[in-house]
């Protein structure tokens, strides 16, 4: 069985700037919420990431939500964290996803369970996110399970990982990306970018090492809803780099106009980043603000999406 490549992979292969977005599954068994969110994004993105119990809050499984999205004719990116499942469950879910025609996967370690609603739960971490990338690539390319047995029909997955260009320690930002590429990651979605100068510097070093030729990097963009959100992201969210200047631009804007300002800044940022060497697309994460994604995509000049 030869499966066609995912839309995301094809868009990237053809050198278009890809656009992805992200939705969180509902905290209940009614799928209508995820369906409504996905409908909002439908014509403006190439693929939609479906988060996997993000911030360790228990939700509908990413795989089930991906199936709902897929049934709408949209392309999901299955997010998989290594926190909750061992290598048996992970391999098994990859096969399950492939059986539903899901063709993109993003491998993550997942936030620690102490941030979520099951603080007293165990975490698994049988393998880590890079090893999950390796595992899925092995299943796909070698057609084998980790245990060595042949997989009857291997899963066709386009395999991605996350990267934080602003992460500590500074000295391993590029080596760590190189390691992800070596593990087999084919696309990278980055942490939200607010400090464009630093991101551009990171990208320059990515290009210097030639990593942009081995992996497709999608810049993570999240519009700020308010000055309050900017301050929170700056001070409270680990690994986030929010320049004072951005906080000030939002604080200097009247409250009722801050949301629009946030959108405008996001559009401006995308326009600036579109020009940089080696960047292959954007991952627009507008959490609980999905209705704004079409406006951002259109005004940033990323619409219409190419027909493949």
Q: Is 148 exposed, middle or buried (0-12, 13-18, 19+ CB in 10 A)?
A: exposed
Please report how close the Cβ of residue 144 comes to other proteins at its closest, in angstroms.
14
Residue 214: alpha-carbon gap to chain centroid:
18
Site string for other proteins, 209-238 (x = CB under 8 A): -----------------------------x
The region of 124-132, 203-211, 263-271, 287-295 touching other proteins under the rule CB under 8 A is 124-132
Lookup: tokens for 66: 């991906």
Residue 7: alpha-carbon gap to chain centroid:
15
CA distance linking residue 80 with residue 51, whole number of Å: 8
- 107 is a contact residue toward other proteins (CB under 8 A): no
Phi, psi of 241 (to 5 degrees): -115, 100
- 33 is a contact residue toward other proteins (CB under 8 A): no
Looking at residue 292, the DSSP 8-state letter turns out to be G
The region of 16-24, 54-62, 161-169, 197-205 touching other proteins under the rule CB under 8 A is 161-169
Residue 236: Cβ within 10 Å count: 8
> Which of 269, 272, 276 is closest to 284 using CA atoms?
269
Lookup: tokens for 87: 């290598």
Looking at residue 44, the DSSP 8-state letter turns out to be T
The region of 88-96, 128-136, 223-231, 300-308 touching other proteins under the rule CB under 8 A is 128-136
Please report how close the Cβ of residue 172 comes to other proteins at its closest, in angstroms.
6
> Given candidates 64, 118, 146, 151, which one binds other proteins under the rule CB under 8 A?
146
- 150 is a contact residue toward other proteins (CB under 8 A): no
- 171 is a contact residue toward other proteins (CB under 8 A): yes
Residues 79-98 that bind other proteins (CB under 8 A): 82-83, 87
The region of 18-26, 72-80, 172-180, 250-258 touching other proteins under the rule CB under 8 A is 172-180
Q: Is 111 exposed, middle or buried (0-12, 13-18, 19+ CB in 10 A)?
A: middle
Cis peptide before 169 (omega within 30 of 0): yes
Return residues touching other proteins (CB under 8 A): 82-83, 87, 109-112, 114, 123, 125-131, 134-135, 146, 162-164, 167-169, 171-172, 175-176, 178-179, 182-183, 191, 238-239
């Amino acid at each position: 069985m030869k499966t066609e490549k995912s839309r995301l992979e094809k868009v990237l292969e053809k050198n278009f700037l890809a656009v992805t977005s992200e939705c969180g599954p509902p905290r209940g068994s009614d799928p209508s919420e995820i369906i409504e969110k996905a409908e909002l994004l439908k014509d403006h993105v190439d693929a939609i990431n479906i988060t996997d119990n993000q911030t360790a809050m228990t939700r509908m499984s990413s795989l089930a939500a991906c199936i709902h999205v897929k049934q709408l004719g949209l392309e999901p990116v299955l997010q998989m964290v290594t926190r909750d499942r061992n290598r048996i469950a992970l391999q098994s879910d990859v096969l399950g996803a492939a059986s539903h025609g899901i063709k993109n996967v993003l491998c993550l370690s997942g936030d620690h369970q102490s941030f979520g609603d099951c603080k007293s739960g165990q975490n698994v971490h049988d393998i880590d996110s890079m090893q999950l990338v390796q595992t899925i690539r092995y299943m796909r390319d070698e057609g084998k399970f980790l245990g060595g047995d042949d997989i009857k029909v291997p899963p066709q997955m386009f395999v991605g990982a996350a990267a934080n260009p602003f992460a500590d320690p500074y000295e391993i930002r590029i080596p760590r990306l190189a390691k992800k590429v070596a593990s087999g990651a084919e696309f990278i979605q980055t942490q939200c970018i607010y400090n464009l100068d630093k991101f551009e510097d990171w990208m320059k070093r990515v290009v210097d090492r030639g990593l942009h030729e081995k992996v497709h990097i999608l810049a993570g963009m999240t519009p700020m809803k308010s000055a309050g959100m900017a301050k929170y992201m700056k001070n409270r969210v680990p690994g986030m780099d929010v320049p004072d200047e951005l906080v000030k631009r939002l604080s200097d804007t009247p409250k009722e106009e801050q949301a629009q300002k946030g959108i405008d800044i996001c559009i401006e940022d995308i326009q600036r980043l579109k020009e940089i060497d080696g960047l292959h697309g954007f991952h627009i994460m507008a959490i609980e603000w999905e209705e704004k994604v079409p406006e951002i995509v259109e005004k940033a000049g990323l619409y219409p999406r190419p027909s493949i």
